[in-house]
Chains A and B, each alone.
Chain A
Amino acid sequence: MSSETNKILTTDGIPLEVSLKKAEKKNKIKAFLLVAPLLLFLIITYVFPIGEMFSRSIDDKMITNMLPKTFKEMEKWDGKELPPEEVFAAFYYDFKILVEKQEHGKLGQRLNKEKNGFNSITKKLFRQVKRKKIDESISIKEQIMKVHKRWRTVEYWQAIKRTAPPYTLAKYLKGMDMYYGADGSVVQVEEDRRIHRILWLRTLEIAFFVTLFCFLMGYPIAHLLATLPMKYSNLLMICVLLPFWTSLLVRTASWMILLQQQGVVNDFFVMIGLVADDNRPEMMYNKVGTYVAMTQILLPFMVLPLYSVMKTISPSLMRAGKSLGGTPFVAFWKVYFPLTIPGIGAGCLLVFILAIGYYITPALVGGASGTLISNQIAFHMKQTLDWSFASAMGLMLLSGVLVIYWIYNKLVGVDNIKLG
């Protein structure tokens, strides 16, 4: 009743409410249009390709497309005993097409990954098909079974059947040192061949300890920087900022010089008599090198968030704690330390995220025992060219990082990241 009549109108006679909503919407669109170019750019060049990594990591369409007739016939086969004549015939016709396209080698390699021994028997079959030894008018099953005894073994046909689905999680299982067994169940790799699990654990271990070392070293100096008078702290801040702005490779190079066997650190140890001259310890190309170099390189990322939090803590709080009867230790532990927890969270998460994906420094100073999961990904991208496995490992690492990122976002908020 009265709400109808009391509606405030703008000068154009439109109700104010409507007009405001319209203006609000216009502003929303305006703000969004400003963000849109970057957002679109990132979605096309970055977010989609990461999605593509996912489809690449589970993709197994190649063999599905190679043996279309076989898999169609295999749907009717129960998989317990040797498949019927139709399956053999379908396989033979699929194989004949592959021979014409000269793709039988690829099939052999792919099947060999599923079960060892396929490579040689596909080659044998290829020779028979090439010489037109197989008579299509009589039972093809009998003739294929004569080629090699493995073609008479049911396990090999079961292995072919397993490759039928166009998608597979095999790469992810391989990343965790597992694989599909003969009956399709998940099996663990023998204990002495579990290389990936060692790598994952080592990555976590190194990331954890580097974060811990950064915290232990970063906390005191962040405190000193925050409490010293401006003119001294500005000078000392250079010690933190200069490494921060210096090229990663330069810093890694300087560690390589310092840590080598004839390097400065070893010279120093010999000089103070810690080690004998002819028994200099190896400090590079192992875990020690990775720890030392990564701690120094990531330390600024710990100090800067801690510093920006400590800067806001008033010194009078400590004084109040002391004047109320606390010893300096109690005052520090009960008053100062709890106030710095947001900074500790931000610094530790940042260092941990950066450390877990580190590549360059471990590759240069880590040797064999100090490399991380990233090095394995790069190895498969560049050396073995098993891109789908590299993608699978990358996504496993990414999902871990995203969980930490999410926690970071909840705890600190990405818009609160401070630089410099």
Chain B
Amino acid sequence: MALPSYTETRYRIWHYIYITICTFVFFFLIAPLFVIFPLSFNAEEFLVFSEGMKNLDPDAFSLRWYKDMIYGTKNPWGLAAKNSFIIAIFATIGSIILGTLAALGLSSRHMPYKGIIMATLISPMIVPLIISGVAIFFFMAKVGLAATHAGIVLAHIILGTPFVVITVTATLSGFDHSVTRAAASLGSNPVNTFMKITLPLILPGVISGGLFAFVTSFDEVVVVLFLAGLENTTIPIQMWTGLREQLSPTILAVATCLILLSTLILVTAELLRRRSERLRGINR
């Protein structure tokens, strides 16, 4: 931001202070993530920068912890990754189906009691996770789904649907309902209209809601801590136990992989957001 040439000195100084503060905050936000990368290539067992690393000695770096993550003996990460992906994928599908249907109903202007129903549907996002965890645990224990994949998937559907409801409702707010009426008047049945007209138009919202649901499930640890048995361990659970008990650099290797995954998701979400903004621009 260049200042106009007529700016007085004291405002100039203020401006530079402001830029400095902003730089500091951006640094504070992003820098912690970048400590993980170099340390995950540490040749030694400690989670500190060794002298060799500070001098950029190539012997101080190794892929040892990545090997340990993949081939290590008695290694929990393989099972955890498999479980995490299975649970997250099913939870995402469930959240998308239930959430999209609900969003379609909620954006109809005929919907009764919209306020209270919306507040109920969003509540799992607002209620502290520990309380959701206790409540869901009581339910799952009662119906015998504790320590099963199905129970965890259901729990994550509960936590994931609010995101789908919010994003799809937002997409539908810019949706021109006359196109569905046009389809109906041309003889299309409602299901066909939804598949051929509505769904393609709201797809960016559905997918970005799905991404939120996926990340929520993939990163969720509080509820899983209550529900999971040894068989259902997930990546967050393994990280949680690892961080509590023995801090090994293998965790940093896993963390690096997770950061790469979140970068991928961020790029996808950003592209979708732009596309949906463009589409909404055309509608107006």
The residues in A between 5 and 56 inclusive whose CB is less than 8 angstroms from any CB of B are 24, 27-28, 30-39, 41-50, 52-53, 56
Across the interface, do A46 and B18 meet the contact criterion of CB distance under 8 Å? no
Known: A249-B240, A253-B239. A374 touches B130 (CB 8 A): yes
Across the interface, do B255 and A254 meet the contact criterion of CB distance under 8 Å? yes
A48 to B226, CA, bound (A): 18
Across the interface, do A49 and B138 meet the contact criterion of CB distance under 8 Å? yes
A53 and chain B: residue at smallest CB distance:
B135
Across the interface, do A35 and B102 meet the contact criterion of CB distance under 8 Å? yes
The binding surface of chain B is classed by DSSP as: helix
- Which one of A30, A37, A252 lies within 8 Å of B98 (CB-CB)? A37
Q: Which of A151-159, A188-196, A409-417 contacts B (4 or more CB under 8 A)?
A: A409-417
A58 to chain B, nearest CB (A): 15
Known: A35-B106, A52-B138. A250 touches B255 (CB 8 A): yes
The residues in B between 154 and 173 inclusive whose CB is less than 8 angstroms from any CB of A are 154-155, 157-158, 161, 163, 165-167, 169-170
A262 to B30, CA, bound (A): 21
Across the interface, do B126 and A353 meet the contact criterion of CB distance under 8 Å? yes
Across the interface, do A32 and B222 meet the contact criterion of CB distance under 8 Å? no
Q: Using Cβ atoms and an 8 Å threshold, which residues of chain A touch B208?
A: 419-420
Residues of chain A at interface, number, CB under 8 A: 91
B254 to chain A, nearest CB (A): 8
Across the interface, do B101 and A38 meet the contact criterion of CB distance under 8 Å? yes
Q: Using Cβ atoms and an 8 Å threshold, which residues of chain B touch A242?
A: 30, 33, 262-263, 266
Known: A256-B247, A401-B127. A39 touches B102 (CB 8 A): yes
A417 to B21, CA, bound (A): 28
The binding surface of chain A is classed by DSSP as: helix
Q: Using Cβ atoms and an 8 Å threshold, which residues of chain A touch B131?
A: 50, 53, 357, 377, 394-395, 397-398
A50 to B259, CA, bound (A): 34
- Which one of B117, B124, B136, B221 lies within 8 Å of A39 (CB-CB)? B117
Known: A296-B28, A296-B29, A401-B126. A250 touches B1 (CB 8 A): no
Q: Is B244 an interface residue (CB 8 A)?
A: yes
Q: Is A131 an interface residue (CB 8 A)?
A: no
Q: Using Cβ atoms and an 8 Å threshold, which residues of chain B touch A391?
A: 134
The residues in A between 369 and 400 inclusive whose CB is less than 8 angstroms from any CB of B are 374, 377-378, 381, 387, 390-391, 394-395, 397-398
Q: Which of B62-70, B74-82, B107-115 contacts A (4 or more CB under 8 A)?
A: B107-115
A298 to chain B, nearest CB (A): 11
Q: Is B206 an interface residue (CB 8 A)?
A: no
Across the interface, do B22 and A224 meet the contact criterion of CB distance under 8 Å? yes
Q: Which of A240, A253, A405 has the most CB of B within 10 A?
A: A253
A27 to B111, CA, bound (A): 8
Q: Is A356 an interface residue (CB 8 A)?
A: yes
- Give 8 A-B pairs besides A49-B138, A420-B273 with Cβ atoms closer than 8 angstroms: A39-B102, A245-B265, A250-B258, A250-B259, A257-B48, A260-B47, A296-B32, A328-B11
8 residue pairs bridging A and B, Cβ less than 8 Å apart:
A35-B111, A38-B98, A227-B1, A245-B265, A248-B221, A258-B32, A419-B167, A420-B208
